A and B are shown apart, each in its own frame.
Chain A
Amino acid sequence: MTAFLQALASGLALGAIYGLIALGFNITYATTKTFNFGQGAFLVPGSLVGVSLLLLAAGKPHFGNLTQAEMTMTAYVLATVASVVVVGAIGVALYYCAIKPFVGAGGLNWVLSTIGFGIIMQNTALAIWGPASIAVPSPLGSDVWRIAGAGIRPQEVLIAVVAVAVMVGLDIVLRKTRFGKALRAVAFNPQAAAIVGINVETIVILAFVISSALAGLAGILIAPITTASVFIGLGVALKAFSAAIVGGLTSPRGCMLGGFLLGVVEALVGLWRAEMREITIFLLIIIVLVVRPSGLMGARSVEKI
């Protein structure tokens, strides 16, 4: 029973990370029917930029290691802001280089261009930080909280809380605010949105900034768990993409649900046979998509003849 609870707790913690990144796919897909296939590479500066600033502030080289004492909550929040701002700004570059030339053109060119952008960014990071991982202490300490025998780290709880908060925030922003309405208008019909005076390009750029900023946020949030490194992104981003698709790329709640679902299934299958985790997950995804091609909570699109 403890093992089951532990798996559930670990799975939810993992799923929150997937869900958080999946939200980044949701917002740009909703506006442009494209998203950043190289999102994994965006976690890299997310984890490294903020941490390096703290390191420099502590008088250490940018690739050193922080001590627990140097990682106060204030420092962590500042690092998070720095990561979110920097990676969000990279999102603008992403839009102009990799999305704008291809958006609306159909085809797969944007997939390759965003992958290309990601490769360049990851290797820039490799040149700056090298291949080694940087251990990052959690601002909440390294103690383990125990709930009915199952251990969970405060950082994992923090991630889950932030992820759900971001999801709820996005949901509200999309449905209640002017920006949200403009965003949905652009998603529905860009030409019509332009006619009623919405600056379509600004909206789309904002969507990419938010998406990238979310990747930056995810990067610094998971750093205390995974370490900050050039190689943290790829595996996680692929799972996050899977979460978005299986939950429903068009729905923030679906993305979050997909994330939790994937995390929990992964941990539970681990109780049975760890090596079967990926195989089970991806077979499951294929089956779900055959039954519901637009994901569990995605809007079904009907082609008009």
Chain B
Amino acid sequence: MSTILECKNLTKRYGNFTALDQINISLEGGHIVGLLGPNGSGKTTLIKIINGLLTPTSGEATVHGKPIGVESKKVISYLPDHTYLNKNMRIRDIIDYFEDFYSDFDTKRAYDMLAKLSINPTDKLKTMSKGTKEKVQLILVMSRHADLYVLDEPIAGVDPAARDYILNTILSNYDENATILISTHLIADIENILDQVIFIHNGHIRLSSTVEEIREQNGKSVDALFREVFKC
């Protein structure tokens, strides 16, 4: 498998505060990777840099060997950790928007998923509950045939039933050659779908390993190891 995402000595400072310190990551295609860390560990900062929303202080992130830019944005499907769509827009109009800009957007898939959840495409986003909004955003993101899906806290703030739906949607909609990078601190809920994990803490990578290796070498689940590593 070829390398999809590579971060070399990635550093981000806010004044005196170092959010990311010399991060090195290499992700190949066909994996579901958990970016795990406590709140404020640097997960979202790293994700923002990968998506071109923040400029790193030093170091470089590349996608398919090219720096972050128009080409990388064509192949990355990104789900931010909050509502990022215009709340006054109707779902139908948002789908038109995605269809116009992303050549890999599968409109039929989006409408099918909405129909399964009985979400009316003519409804405005602002009329929906928080959980429904998150589902709509996930449907939009997973309706793309991207090479890299970057999902920032996709299951935070929704009920367990919605979590199951979200995880099923993720699993049933991604191409086997694509990679999914999921950031979360709710490890137990997503542990079963991960095959690789990256532990991040205070802007440093504490561990990068496959789930299988963790279980074999430590005899522990990822959740148990996480609790041990990040014990307060």
B is bound to A:
no
Q: B residues within 8 Å of A by Cβ? A: none
